[in-house]
Amino acid sequence: MLSRQFQTLRHLQKSTTTTHLLQLQSLILKTALDRDEYFISKFIQSSCSVSIEFTRLFFDSLLPLDPPPPIFAFNTIIREYSKSSSPLESVKLFSQLQRVGLKPDKFTYPFVLKSCGRCSVIGVGGAVHSLVVKMGFDSDRYVGNTLLRMYSGCGAIGFARQVFDEMCERDVVSWSSMIAGYVACNCPFDALMVFQSMKLVNQNPNSVTLVSLLSACTRLLNIRIGTSIHSHVIVNNIKLDVALGTALLEMYSKCGRIEVALQVFSSLEEKNLQSWTIMISGVADHGRGEDAISLFTQMEENGLKPDSLSFSGILSACSHLGLVEEGKMYFDQMMNTYGIKPTMEHYGCMIDMLGRAGMIEEAYRVIKSMPMEPNSVILRSFIGASKNHGEVVCLDENLRKLLLQIEPDLGANYVLAACVSSMSENWNDVASLRDAMKGRRLKKAPGCSWVEVNSASSGEIIQPAVG
C-alpha cells in the first residue's frame, strides 16, 4: 500500500494536464487512496495548479464520504477560489465546510474574508467576523489584517478603522492596509493622518505603503508630501519597481510637474501598460499631443497591447491638439485592430475633437451611431460646439431635451439650450427655458479653477520628512 502511495505521489508531482489528473483519479479510486487524508490533501493541492474546475468536481465527489475531506483540502480550494475570477465560490465552500461538521481554522478565515471583500458581500463578511471573534481568532494579526481589507473593499471604512483600532498588534501590513483603505474609499487626508501615526510608533513604511501614500498625494494634489516620499525612496535606496515608479510619475503628472514625471518614467527599468498609459495621458493633459503620440508609438513598438484607457489618452491628445485625421485613425485602430468596443469616454473624445474642429455634422453622426444614450458631458460638448461655430442645421431638438432630462437641476444646461434656441430664432423656446430656470430657482454657476495658494491644501500638520 505504501509503495503505491509513493508511486502515485511521484506521478502527481509531474501532473501538468487534466488528462493526466483523470488517469490519477482512476488510480486513486481503484486503490482506495480517496480514504487517505494526507494523499487527498496533496492531490488537491497539486491539481488546483492545473485546473480548479477539475479539482472542484473531484472534491465534490468526496463530500458524501465519511469522514469528509480534511480541513487542509477545504482551505486549499477556498484559497484558490479567493484569487480566481469566481471568489464567491470560496464563500459557498465555507458554508459546506460548516455543514459537514468541520471547524474552520486560522487559515480558513483570511481566504473567506478576502473573497467577501472582492465580492462586496459585507453582510456575509460581518457574519464571518462574528465567527472569528467567537472562535478567538480576532487576536490573530493575519486574520485582523484581512478583516481590515475586507471592510475597506466593501466601502465600510468606519468598520475597517474599528478593526484597526482594536488590533492588539499591528505590523507594516496593518498600517499599509489602513492607509490603502482610506485611499480606496476616497479619504486621502485620513490616509495621510494614519501615516503620521505610523511614524510616531516608528513603523517604517514599505513599498506598498508608499504607493498608497503617493495615491493620496495625487488625489489631494499635494506635491510637497509627494516629493518628500520620493526623497525617502532615494535616501533609503528603495527599488523603484513598476508599482512605485508608476505611482510616482502619476503624482508628478497630476500635480503639474510633467518634466519630473518624464524623468521618473525614463528611469524605470521595467514599465507596464499602466505606466505607459499614465504617461501618455499626462503629456496629453499638459497639451503635449506630439509627445503623447510618440509615446503611444513607442509603447506599441515595445510589444505592449494598448487597452481602453490607453486609447482614451491618445484620443484626448488628438482632441486637444486638433489632430482630427490622427484621432479618426486611432479610433478605427482601436475597434478594428485591437477589437476594443468604444466606451462613452471614447465617443466623448471623438465628439469633442470633431466639435472643436467645426465638423458639427460629422460629430452629430457619431452621436447617432453610439450604441448607448449620450451623457450630459457629450451633449454639452456637442451643443456648445454647435453654438460656437454658428451651426443650427444639425441640432436635434431631442438632444436638448435629453440634456435637460439628464441634469434637470443644472442651470448651465438651460442657458446653453436657450442660447442655441436663440440662434435659430426660436424665441418661444428661449422664454420657456428661462421660465423653467426661474421656476426651479436655478442660476448658472460662475466659472472657477482649482489653484493651490501658499500650500494651503498641503496639510501643514503632516511633516515633510517621511523617514
- CA distances, 125 to each of 89, 242, 243, 259 (Å): 14, 32, 29, 45
Distance, CA of 426 to CA of 429 (rounded, Å) = 6
d(CA 55, CA 18): 10
pLDDT tens series, the chain, 467 aa: 444 444 455 555 555 566 666 666 666 666 666 566 777 788 888 888 788 888 888 888 888 877 888 899 999 999 999 999 999 999 999 999 998 888 999 999 999 999 999 999 999 999 999 999 999 998 899 999 999 999 999 999 999 999 999 998 899 999 999 999 999 999 999 999 999 999 999 999 999 999 999 999 999 999 999 999 999 999 999 989 999 999 999 999 999 999 999 999 999 999 999 999 999 999 988 888 889 999 999 999 999 999 999 999 899 889 888 899 999 999 999 999 999 999 999 999 999 999 999 998 899 899 889 999 888 788 878 878 887 887 765 555 666 666 666 656 566 666 666 665 565 555 555 555 565 555 555 455 555 554 454 443 443 334 434 44
Give the C-alpha separation, 352 to 356, whole Å.
Answer: 6
Place of cell 509615446: 295
Query: Please, which contacts does 221-224 make with residues 24 or more away whose CB atoms are closer than 8 Å?
Result: 221/254, 221/255, 221/450, 221/452, 221/457, 222/192, 222/255, 222/457, 222/458, 222/459, 223/251, 223/252, 223/255, 223/256, 223/257, 223/458, 224/455, 224/458, 224/464
H-state helical runs in 201-272? 207-220, 223-235, 242-254, 258-267
Let me know: does 273 contact 307? Beta carbons within 8 Å.
yes
pTM of the model: 0.78
Torsions phi, psi of 442, nearest 5? -100, 150
Which three three-digit cell numbers place residue 44? 488537491
Show the cell assigned to 145: 489584517
> Which residues 6+ apart lie within 8 Å of 88 measured at CB?
115, 119, 121
Q: Which sign, positive or negative, has the C-alpha torsion 118, 121, 125, 128?
A: negative
CA distance 384 to 418: 11
